[in-house]
Amino acid sequence: MKYSFKNDYAEGAHPKILEALVQSNLTQHNGYGLDNFSLNVESIIKEKIKNQDAKVYLVSGGTQANLIVISAFLRPHESVVAAATGHIFTNESGAIEATGHKVHAVETNDGKLRPDDIQKIIDAHQNKPHQVKQKLVYISNSTEIGTIYSKKELVDLYQFCQENKLYLFVDGARLGHALTAETNDLTLEDFGKYTDAFYLGGTKNGALIGEAIVINNEILQEEFGFHLKQKGAMLAKGRLLGIQFQELLKDDLYFDLAKHANQQAMKIKETFQSIGVDFLSETFTNQIFPILRNEQIEKLSERFDFYVWKKLDQEKSAIRLITSWATSDEVVADFNNEIKNLK
Amino acid sequence: MKYSFKNDYAEGAHPKILEALVQSNLTQHNGYGLDNFSLNVESIIKEKIKNQDAKVYLVSGGTQANLIVISAFLRPHESVVAAATGHIFTNESGAIEATGHKVHAVETNDGKLRPDDIQKIIDAHQNKPHQVKQKLVYISNSTEIGTIYSKKELVDLYQFCQENKLYLFVDGARLGHALTAETNDLTLEDFGKYTDAFYLGGTKNGALIGEAIVINNEILQEEFGFHLKQKGAMLAKGRLLGIQFQELLKDDLYFDLAKHANQQAMKIKETFQSIGVDFLSETFTNQIFPILRNEQIEKLSERFDFYVWKKLDQEKSAIRLITSWATSDEVVADFNNEIKNLK
Amino acid sequence: MKYSFKNDYAEGAHPKILEALVQSNLTQHNGYGLDNFSLNVESIIKEKIKNQDAKVYLVSGGTQANLIVISAFLRPHESVVAAATGHIFTNESGAIEATGHKVHAVETNDGKLRPDDIQKIIDAHQNKPHQVKQKLVYISNSTEIGTIYSKKELVDLYQFCQENKLYLFVDGARLGHALTAETNDLTLEDFGKYTDAFYLGGTKNGALIGEAIVINNEILQEEFGFHLKQKGAMLAKGRLLGIQFQELLKDDLYFDLAKHANQQAMKIKETFQSIGVDFLSETFTNQIFPILRNEQIEKLSERFDFYVWKKLDQEKSAIRLITSWATSDEVVADFNNEIKNLK
Amino acid sequence: MKYSFKNDYAEGAHPKILEALVQSNLTQHNGYGLDNFSLNVESIIKEKIKNQDAKVYLVSGGTQANLIVISAFLRPHESVVAAATGHIFTNESGAIEATGHKVHAVETNDGKLRPDDIQKIIDAHQNKPHQVKQKLVYISNSTEIGTIYSKKELVDLYQFCQENKLYLFVDGARLGHALTAETNDLTLEDFGKYTDAFYLGGTKNGALIGEAIVINNEILQEEFGFHLKQKGAMLAKGRLLGIQFQELLKDDLYFDLAKHANQQAMKIKETFQSIGVDFLSETFTNQIFPILRNEQIEKLSERFDFYVWKKLDQEKSAIRLITSWATSDEVVADFNNEIKNLK
C-alpha cells in the first residue's frame, strides 16, 4: 500500500493518549464534560494562555467547533468575514449558512485576512438594514494553505476588530503547527489576549478526535453549554476529550508533535529546493505545495499518495503534501530519495 | 468515592475496543468514514438486519444522530410526533426545533407511542396549510423510562406509518438493552424491515462514542453524507467509530454487554421485590425505578449515587438506577446487601 | 350567498382608509417604512401609550409579526411559553420552530396564561443545558377563544416575567376588541408599561393589512429593522401600512370599530341567552361560542356561514361566530330573528 | 420638494387598482388566497403563459418571494448560484442564508448569468459531501442593473439547468420592464416554458404590493402553501393581492405601465446622449446609469433626487435614474431641460 501524504489524520492517536485511555478506563467519571480530565484541561489551558477568565469547551471536530461558535456568537442578521480559502467558506458543506449566517469571502494571495480586506466588505454593506451586518472575523492559523500569521498581523486584526465592534475568531485546527513553525513569533498567550475566541486542534495533531474551544470574551461565554448540547456536540463520555487533551498538554507533547510534523515537511521542502523545484506558496508548517511537471507527479505517485492541488498549465501542477506527528524519519528519507531521482 | 448508578456511560469502553484501537493505531486509513473498518461495519449490519439495500452511517452521539436524521428527512413544513418522554422532546435542548421542525408530544403511561396517539395529533392538524404537516414518527426502544416495544407494537406502528405516509424512526441509544430483555420478542432483523431508519447505540453499551444510523428507506439515503458533514458529524478519523462497532458486532459482544447490564438490573430489582418495594413502571432492561421512602433513599445514598426521579408524596419518591456493561457482580452484591438492610 | 360569521377579515377596509389611500396616491414618499405616514404613526402610538422610548414597526400580518419578534428577541437556545390555544402553537404552520425555537404549550381553561403555568414549565426544565431555556412568554389579548386579560392579570404576569428574566410579548391581533370589551379594565397605556413588546392588530379591525409592532424594551429594539428585512416584511411601499394606521388612530376610529364588532357579538349573545343557549366560554369580545343542537346548527347554516368549533357529544356542538367592524345592524337583526325561531 | 428618480415605488398604485379596491370593498370573500380574485388571477396567468399545469401564488414583496421559493425548493445541503449583483446576494440582508442556504456569487459585467459561470461554480465544488451541492440558479430579468436576457440566453440557461438537474428561478420584480424593452425578444409564454418558477412583479409596476409567483415545475408545487403560511406571507385578506393583479392583467395594463416607464427612461437617455454623456451599461428598461461630472451631478440634484451609483474617479460618477408607471411627461420634459443646460 502507498504511503499517504494526503492529510494529517490518517493514523490513530499518539501512543501516550491510548495509554491514558487504557489506564483510566474503568474508573467512573461524570458525563457531559464535567469529568475531572476536562475540568483539568480547562485549568491547564487558562494557565498556558495566562487568562484566568477564559472558558474552555472540548468538542469532537473542526466543523463542529466552527458552526457552534459562530451560531452561538451571532444574532440572526449578523455575518462572517473570511478568506475565500477559509475552511468554513469552501469545505464545510454550507455548515455556517445552515445555521442562518452569511459568510463573505475575500480573495487573498496567501490565505490571510488583513484589516483592509475586511474594511472593503464593510464599505460595500452600508445600505442598512437592506444588507447584512458584519460581526465576526474568521481566520485560520495556520491557514488552509499552510501560511501563518505574524504577531503584528494578529494584533492589527484584533485592534481593527475592537474598533469596529467585530469578534475575532481563530480556527486553530493546526494551531500547533503554526506556533512551532520556524518563522513564527506568536505564543499561545497571544491567543488568550488578541482574540475573542480560538481553538486548539487535536484531531490533526495526534488526538483521535478533539478541538479545545477557548472563549476569552466573557460576554460570549454566556450559556455556551446550551449550544454544544443543541448542536449534538456534548459527548456523554466527555472524558474521551478530556483525557486526550490532558495528555497532549502534558510536557508540551502538543507542541512537540506539531514541531515534528513541521520538521518532516521542511526536510521534504529542502529536498525539492535542492533539485530546483518551486512552490505555490512559501510555507513553514506541515503543508507544502511543490510545483512539478506531470511526469514527476506520476513518478512520485507510484509509491506515495497525495493530492494534485492546482493545475497550473498543460505541463505543470502544484501538489499538496501534508506531514504529521506520525510521519517517520524512514518515510521522509524514502520519499526524499524518490525526489532526488526525479528529473 | 460512591459507586454511581446514575447512567450507563460513567466508565470508558469495553477493553476489547481499546485493544482494537491500540492494535490498528499506526496504520494509515482513509478519513471521513471511508476507512475499511467503517465500510466493514456497514456490511456486517446489512447482513445482520438482512437488508442489503440499507445504508449505515456512524456518528458520535444520540442527539447528533436524532437531529441529522430528522432534519435530513423532512421538508421545512413537516413535523415530528413523539412521546412526551421522548429524548428529542425534553432532553436535547431544542435540537430538533433548532433545525426548524416542530415536535408534537403525546402524553403516555409507559413511554411508548401507539397508532391512536399519532392519529389524534393528525386529527388535530387538519386545517392545512395553517397547521404543520406530520411526517415522521420518533420512538425510542428501549424507551427513556426503560420499557420496550413488542413485535406486534412495532409492526402496527410501521403499518400505520406506511398507510399515513409517515416515516418511522427509532432512537436505539439503548437498542441492545431492548433486544436482550427477557420479555423481548423483536430481532435486529425486524428493525431492518419495520422502520425507515433506526440506530444502534454504542455510547451506552460499551463504546467510547458512537451510534450506527441505519437507513432502510432508499429515498431517504439520498445524499445523506452532506447532512453529516454540514452538521459537524463527519469525523476526520472515522476509524474511531468503525473500529469500535467492528468490535461490538464481533461474536455478538454488543448483545452480551447489553444482556449483562439487564441482568444486573434484574438482580437488583428482585432484591427490591423481596423486601416488598414497588416500582414506578415495570421494566426488564437496564433501568429500574423503585419507589422508596425518604429515609431509605437517604440510607442508600450513603455509598451509592443515583437520581431521585420523581417525588410521589411527602414520604416517598421513585429513584432511577441504571446498570451497564461495566456493572460488576461485586457491586451488585454489595448494593443488594444494602437493600436487604433497609427497613 | 350566505352571510359569513367565519372571521373578521371577510370584507376589505374601512372606507376612510380607502379614501386616505386615494388622496395620497400620487404623492412621492420614501420607501421601506421611512415615509411620513409611518413615522407619524410611530409618534401617535408613543403618545397614546405614554412611552416616548418605544419604537414602532409596521408589518403586514400577525404570523409575520410573531415570527419576526420572537426570532429577533431570542438566542438559539431560548424558548417560548404559550397557551396551547396560542396562535403560534397551533395555527402558524410551525413558523416559530422554523426560526429555530421551541414553543412550550400549556393547557388552560380560558386561553390565558398565568404565572403558575409558566413556573411549571420552568420547573420541568432545570436540567441545564440539556433542556432549553425559557425566555419569552407569549400571550394573546383578546385570546384565540375570545377571552381577555384583566389589569391585575397582566401586571402579575409582567412582574413574574421581570423576576424571572423573561420577556413578555402580547399578540394583539384583536387588541382593539379586548380593550373595548365591557369587562375590560386595561388601557393601551398599560401595554406600553407592562410588556416588553406587543402589537396593535389592523387586519382584523378594519385595515387591508397591517399590524403595528411596539417594542418597549430598549435592548430589544436594537437593529430590529434588519430582522424585518431579512424575513421579507419590509414593504417597499411602507406608506400602505402608514396611511392605514394613521387613519385608524385618528379620532379613535380603531377603538370605535372594535367596539362596534363587540356590540354586534353581544347582541347575538343576548339573543342566544334569551332562548336558553349556553356557551363554551364566557366572552365579551367579537367571538362567541354558543352550544347548539345539531338541528339548530343545520337550521342556522341555511343562510349563514360559520365554523363548528367543537363537537361536545352526539347531539351538540359549540359553533364559533365572529363579528367585525363591518357587521351591520341589519345582518345582526336578521340573524337574531333566525335564532329566535330555533327550537 | 424634489422629484425623485430614486426608485419605482415612490407613488401609490395605478388609479384603476384603487378603484377596484373601492368597488369590491364591502363584499365578503374567503381569506388566505382563496378569494375569487386570486383564483381568477391564477387562471389568467396560466392562460397568458400557456401552461395550464402551472400554479400561481400571490405574495406581498420580492424578498418574501425569493426566500419562500428558494427555501421551499431546496433540501438543507443545496445551494443557489446567482450573479454578484443579484438582489438575493447583496440586498436582502441575508434572507436566503437565514433559511439555511448558501448563495454562490459570480462576478459579471452585465448582471447576467451564463452557463459557463455556473459551470465554474460546479467545478469548484466537486469534493462531495464536503462542499455544498448547487441546485438552483437565480437570475433577475430585468437585472438589478437594468439589462435584459435574450430568448437565446434564457433557453440556453434552461437547457443547461435541465442537463445539470438544476432549477431555474427568475426574479421578475421588473419582468414587465424587461418584456417591454425595445430590444426584448422574450414573451411571458417563454417564462411558462423555460423556467421552473418565476414571478411577475407588481410592487415596482403600479401595485401597492404584490408579486405573482408562478411555479411551472409540478414537483415544486407540492404543498407550497405551507411555506407561504410558515414564512408569514399568507395574507388574511388575500383579496388585496388578487384584486390588484386582476386589474394589472386586464387589457394588458401591466405591460402598458412598464412600457411607459421604459419610454420615459429612454427619453432621458436620449437627452443625455444628445449632449455626449456615456453610460455605465447599455440599458433599454426603466433604469439608466449616465456617467456625469461632479458639478453636473450637483446641478441636477438641485431639483431632482437620485442615487449616485458608482464613483469612477475623482471627477466622475455614474448616477442611477429610475422611472416608473407614474413618471409624467411633464417631469421628463422638465428634467430633460435641466440636462440640456448642463455643461
Predicted confidence (pLDDT) per residue in B74-130, tens digit: 999 999 999 999 999 999 999 999 999 999 999 999 999 999 999 999 999 999 999
Residues of A in contact with B93 (CB under 8 A): 226, 229-230
* Angle between the N-to-C axes of helices D253-274 and D329-340, in degrees from 0 to 180, rounded to the nearest 10: 10
Test the C interface: residue of D63, D101, D243 with most C CBs within 10 Å: D63
Residues of D in contact with B233 (CB under 8 A): none
Test the A interface: residue of D70, D80, D93 with most A CBs within 10 Å: D93
- What's the pLDDT score for residue C1? 82
Interchain contact, D3 vs C28, CB within 8 Å: yes
- What's the pLDDT score for residue A343? 77
Pick the CATH number of D15-253 from 3.50.50.60, 3.40.50.10490, 3.30.750.24, 3.40.640.10: 3.40.640.10
Interchain contact, A77 vs D94, CB within 8 Å: yes
pLDDT surpassing 90 at residue A1: no
Query: What was the ipTM of the complex prediction?
Result: 0.96
Comparing CB atoms, the residue among D21, D26, D62 nearest residue C326 is D26
Host H or E run for residue A197: strand A197-201
CB crowding B108-145: b at 16 or more within 10 Å, else e:
bebbbbbbebbeebeeebeeebbbbbbbbbbbbbbbbb
* Fold adopted by C254-340: Aspartate Aminotransferase, domain 1 (3.90.1150)
Residues of B in contact with A7 (CB under 8 A): 31, 236
Test the C interface: residue of B74, B75, B85, B97 with most C CBs within 10 Å: B97
Distance of CA C154 to the CA centre of its chain: 15
Q: Which residue of D has its CA nearest to B228?
A: D129
Distance, in Å, from the CA atom of D339 to the CA atom of D61, rounded to the nearest integer, reads 34
What string of pLDDT tens digits covers the 343 residues of chain D? 899 999 999 999 999 999 999 999 999 999 999 999 999 999 999 999 999 999 999 999 999 999 999 999 999 999 999 999 999 999 999 999 999 999 999 999 999 999 999 999 999 999 999 999 999 999 999 999 999 999 999 999 999 999 999 999 999 999 999 999 999 999 999 999 999 999 999 999 999 999 999 999 999 999 999 999 999 999 999 999 999 999 999 999 999 999 999 999 999 999 999 999 999 999 999 999 999 999 999 999 999 999 999 999 999 999 999 999 999 999 999 999 999 999 7
Residue window 20-49, chain B: list those with CB within 8 Å of chain A. 21-22, 24-31
- Whether the domain at A3-8+254-340 and the domain at A15-251 fall into the same CATH topology: no
Interface A:D, Cβ pairs < 8 A: 56
Comparing CB atoms, the residue among A129, A133, A225 nearest residue C129 is A225
Instruction: Please provide the CATH number assigned to the domain covering C15-252.
Output: 3.40.640.10
Class of domain A15-251: alpha beta
Whether D100 and A67 have beta carbons less than 8 Å apart is answered as no
Instruction: Please provide the CATH number assigned to the domain covering A3-8+254-340.
Output: 3.90.1150.10
Whether C193 and C241 have beta carbons less than 8 Å apart is answered as no
Whether B318 and B290 have beta carbons less than 8 Å apart is answered as yes
pLDDT, tens digit, 9 for 90 and up, residues A254-307: 999 999 999 999 999 999 999 999 999 999 999 999 999 999 999 999 999 999
Residues of B in contact with A22 (CB under 8 A): 18, 22
Comparing CB atoms, the residue among A76, A226, A234 nearest residue C227 is A76
**Confidence label for A127 from pLDDT (cuts 50, 70 and 90):** very high
Distance, in Å, from the CA atom of C141 to the CA atom of C199, rounded to the nearest integer, reads 10
pLDDT, tens digit, 9 for 90 and up, residues C142-200: 999 999 999 999 999 999 999 999 999 999 999 999 999 999 999 999 999 999 999 99
Tell me the average pLDDT across C98-104: 98
Residue window 177-206, chain D: list those with CB within 8 Å of chain C. 203-204
Interchain contact, B18 vs A18, CB within 8 Å: yes
Q: Name the minimum distance, in Å, from the CA of B94 to any CA of chain C.
A: 6
Amino acid at A309: W
Domain extents in chain C: 15-252, 254-340
Interchain contact, C92 vs B129, CB within 8 Å: no
Nine-digit cell string for A99:
445555521
Test the A interface: residue of B28, B70, B88, B171 with most A CBs within 10 Å: B28
Distance, in Å, from the CA atom of B47 to the CA atom of A112, rounded to the nearest integer, reads 49
Distance of CA B324 to the CA centre of its chain: 13
State the chains in contact with C (3 or more Cβ–Cβ pairs under 8 Å).
A, B, D
Q: Name the minimum distance, in Å, from the CA of B51 to any CA of chain D.
A: 25
Q: Name the minimum distance, in Å, from the CA of B89 to any CA of chain D.
A: 21
Tell me the average pLDDT across A144-172: 98
Comparing CB atoms, the residue among C4, C18, C27 nearest residue D21 is C18
How high is the mean pLDDT of chain A? 97
Which phi and psi angles does B148 have, rounded to 5°? Answer: -130, 160
CB crowding B243-273: b at 16 or more within 10 Å, else e:
bbbbbbbeeebbbbbbbbbbbbbbbbbebbe
Long-range contact set of residues A102-107: C-beta below 8 Å, sequence gap at least 24: A102/A132, A102/D94, A102/D97, A102/D103, A103/A79, A103/A138, A103/D102, A104/A79, A104/A80, A104/A134, A106/A81, A106/A82, A107/A83
Distance, in Å, from the CA atom of D157 to the CA atom of D139, rounded to the nearest integer, reads 10
pLDDT, tens digit, 9 for 90 and up, residues A192-246: 999 999 999 999 999 999 999 999 999 999 999 999 999 999 999 999 999 999 9
pLDDT surpassing 80 at residue C116: yes
Residues of B in contact with A32 (CB under 8 A): none
Whether A90 and D131 have beta carbons less than 8 Å apart is answered as yes
Whether B342 and B275 have beta carbons less than 8 Å apart is answered as yes
Residues of C in contact with A225 (CB under 8 A): 128-129
CA distances from C240 to C17, C273, C316, D10, D326 (A): 10, 42, 45, 11, 17
Residue window 88-107, chain A: list those with CB within 8 Å of chain B. 92-95, 98
Among left, alpha and beta (phi > 0; psi -120 to 50; other), residue D208 is alpha
**Confidence label for C343 from pLDDT (cuts 50, 70 and 90):** confident
Residues of A in contact with B199 (CB under 8 A): none
Interchain contact, B28 vs A11, CB within 8 Å: yes
Percent of chain C whose pLDDT exceeds 70: 100
Residue window 50-79, chain D: list those with CB within 8 Å of chain C. 60-68
CB atoms within 10 A of CB D19: 14
H helices present in chain D, as ranges: 15-24, 36-48, 62-73, 87-90, 95-98, 115-123, 151-163, 175-179, 188-193, 218-221, 224-230, 239-249, 253-274, 294-301, 329-340
pLDDT surpassing 90 at residue B343: no
Class of domain B3-7+254-340: alpha beta
Interchain contact, D76 vs B71, CB within 8 Å: yes
Residue window 307-326, chain B: list those with CB within 8 Å of chain A. 326
Tell me the average pLDDT across B228-251: 98
Test the D interface: residue of A71, A99, A102 with most D CBs within 10 Å: A102
pLDDT surpassing 80 at residue B26: yes
Closest to B61 in 3D by CA, of A240, C77, A233, A66: A233
Test the D interface: residue of C24, C60, C64, C331 with most D CBs within 10 Å: C60
Residues of B in contact with C124 (CB under 8 A): 90
Hey, is the C-beta of A123 within 8 angstroms of any chain D C-beta? Answer: no
Residues of B in contact with C102 (CB under 8 A): 94, 97, 103
How high is the mean pLDDT of chain C? 97
- Name the residue with cell 480573495: A107
